[in-house]
Amino acid sequence: MVGINWLRPEGYLRLRAMYAKTSNLGVKSNPIAVEHLGLVEYRKAWEYQREIQAGVIAGESPNTLILLEHPSVYTAGRLTQLDERPKDGTPVIEVDRGGKITWHGPGQIVGYPIVKLKNGNDVVGFVREIEIALINTCQEFGVNAERYCERTGVWIRDAKGDRKLAAIGIRVAKGVTMHGFALNVNPDLSWFKKIVPCGIPDVEVTSLSVELGRNIAIVAILESLTRNITTALDKVAE
């Protein structure tokens, strides 16, 4: 296993596993590398994503799924408007993904699938598979999440109103993805009140813990999330 000690704070577990795809002949090939990195500062993780993406583009690195948490940070996609940002001058990191502004922090699991797409132009199909995988994970924990055809991400839609559970924002270069998704497990949701999350003013943000009325730990969902996301990637990645 290749180490990246500069990215790993002391005490964090780094786990690397290989999820193999099955060809039509039943032969395992093109494994997906899965890395659980713990808590990682956003800019370091972004730099690491770019390194892996360059390797995948060059054919020197395997398709990779990174799962981690970030210290509290706001990131703004290319479509973010001025009035959607924090009004108190809180710093925001400008990033090269689609979508608008969001928050990352402890209690939110972030996934960065860095894969070469079978169809490099089918970005919508890739996003839909990620949405389905996140929905499957939520349903395994008893949360009835769903897609919202007019809005990207994973949602709760019931008599209480629309609530966003997971956000998705990606970038594709030469057919290889980076950035990804953020699923709220047990974060402090008050951070979202400083911004217009994903540029949608009329929707609340929620978490698995809020919806279930009990605390859910990040570690409790890792197996389910890893399994569902790698299954989705198997469908869209070369």
Ordered by where they begin, the domains of the chain are 5-236 (3.30.930.10)
pLDDT for the residue numbered 29: 53
What positions carry a catalytic annotation? 198
List pLDDT tens digits, range 78-130: 888 888 899 888 999 999 988 889 999 999 999 999 999 999 889 999 999 99
List pLDDT tens digits, range 3-25: 333 344 333 344 455 555 544 44
* CA gap 48, 37 in Å, rounded: 11
pLDDT for the residue numbered 104: 97
The residue among 144, 139, 110, 143 whose CA lies nearest residue 218 is 110
- The residue with tokens 């799924």 is 65
Residue 150: alpha-carbon gap to chain centroid? 20
Q: Is the per-residue pLDDT at 198 higher than 90?
A: no
pLDDT for the residue numbered 89: 83
- Sequence-distant (6+) residues with CB within 8 A of 19 are 31, 32, 34, 226, 230, 234
* CA gap 15, 34 in Å, rounded: 8
173 membership: H or E segment, kind and range: strand 161-173
* CA gap 54, 147 in Å, rounded: 31
Q: Taking the model in full, what pTM does it have?
A: 0.87
* CA gap 90, 117 in Å, rounded: 36
